[in-house]
Amino acid sequence: MSEVITFTSGKGGVGKTTTTANVGVGLSLLEKKVILIDTDIGLRNLDVVMGLENRIVYNLVDVLTGKCRVKQAVIRDRRYPNLSVIPSACVREHPPITIEAMQTLMEELKESYDYILVDSPAGIDSGFDLAVCAADKVVVVTTPQVAAVHDADCVLRLLRRKKDISTYLLINSFRKQLVKEGNMLQISDICELLNTELLGVVLEDEHIIISQNHGESMMGKKGTSQTCYENICRRLVGEAVPIPDFLQEKHRFRGFFWNKPAKQTINS
Amino acid sequence: MREQSVTAAKERLKCMIHYENNILDEETMGYIRRDIGNVITKYVDVEPENIEIKVILKEYKKRELQCLNSTN
Ligand SMILES: Nc1ncnc2c1ncn2[C@@H]1O[C@H](COP(=O)(O)OP(=O)(O)OP(=O)(O)O)[C@@H](O)[C@H]1O
Ligand SMILES: [Mg+2]
């Protein structure tokens, strides 16, 4: 059965696009047919992050206003055979698109794809309504910072009023060291404050920025965030993957690094 | 030494989230006015527009005060 999953947030820049791209690649690697839709109209991001900016012919606005057929706007990612993207438009004026057109498009896409991931713009205005109008699940992305958590609560409050949508929380850019020093909210604090089921946690990882410079995802690469995305994908397909205790894990991770060179010296 | 900043973050968020989740927004207030107005006109011969309805959440006021005390 197909599912529409929207990634949204109150505050901007918390990692919606990054999450949509990496979870999209991750799900496609689990042999699911996936399409990503950028609904951030006016500011295209998703195609840029994914390195597909040179392949755009038509965009979401063209589809929703009937300027082209759906197929003409779909970009197939050659690196991942199960993954496609419909990019957004770079326009200044808000085009005359309707919620009904978006819902019709989503229904049509459901026939060909297992997962339709929607990258929402920040905020709670018309772009938000468009992004969530056909969602089965909405994932609210937040960082552990006060303004982001506060805005996540505003979005969650709006979403609770909508029927037939299940809401989840995703904590992005989690910094273990800051938490240990008592200067960043813990995962449990955020869950308690926002009272929403946690889909996953993504650690802050500079490799994300480096990958995006190349227009590539984190999947299949080294970097602490890769496992985080993989876990999120496995949870989405229904596996019971626990949230690791990141604060404990750090110690084990360090131990592992210290042991390895020592062993090598003994052998050689 | 300065207190760990996470304590302040948690307290402030707790208050903000509690406040905003318990406040009556204009939309909800509209529904309440309409519903209560309908009940009143059942018993009193008065036009709905001649009724004024005000809601005071006593419990909420108390908690707001507690929050203010704990963060400042
Ligand atoms: N876990 C992470 N670790 C390090 N950097 C990250 C992480 N997640 C996102 N970033 C970086 O943060 C920036 C903002 O991310 P992104 O564009 O995904 O946010 P967004 O919520 O989509 O923003 P907008 O609201 O503008 O659409 C990007 O430069 C991205 O590379
Ligand atoms: Mg974005």
Question: For residue range A67-123, what is the model confidence (pLDDT) as tens digits?
Answer: 999 999 999 999 999 999 999 998 877 788 999 999 999 999 999 999 999 999 999
Domain span including residue B21: 5-71
- Checking if the pLDDT of B8 tops 60, the result is yes
Contacts with B20 from chain A: Cβ below 8 Å = 153-154, 157
Q: What is the pLDDT of residue A90?
A: 84
User: How many domains is chain A partitioned into structurally?
Assistant: 1
- Checking if the pLDDT of A250 tops 60, the result is no
User: How many domains is chain B partitioned into structurally?
Assistant: 1
Question: Which distant-in-sequence residues (6+ apart) come within 8 Å of A99 by Cβ?
Answer: A129, A130, A133
For position A20, which CATH number holds?
Answer: 3.40.50.300
Domain span including residue A60: 3-267
Question: For residue range A4-54, what is the model confidence (pLDDT) as tens digits?
Answer: 999 999 999 999 999 999 999 999 999 999 999 999 998 889 999 999 999
Query: CA–CA separation, A187 vs B9, rounded Å?
Result: 13
Tell me the DSSP string of A131-191: HHTT-SEEEEEE-SSHHHHHHHHHHHHHHHTSTT-EEEEEEEEE-HHHHHTT-S--HHHHH
Ligand 1 shell residues, CB under 6 Å:
A 9, 12-18, 40, 45, 122, 172-173, 202, 204-205, 208-209, 212, 225
Task: Select from A226, A168, A231, A230 the least CA-distant residue to A194.
Answer: A168
Q: Min CA distance, B34 vs chain A (Å)? A: 20
Q: What is the pLDDT of residue B72?
A: 43
What's the whole-number mean pLDDT along residues A125-140? 96
- Checking if the pLDDT of A142 tops 80, the result is yes
b or e along A66-99 (b: 16 or more beta carbons within 10 Å of the residue's beta carbon)? Answer: eeeebeebbbebeebebbbbbbbbeeeeeeebee
For chain A, say whether B27 makes contact (Cβ under 8 Å): no
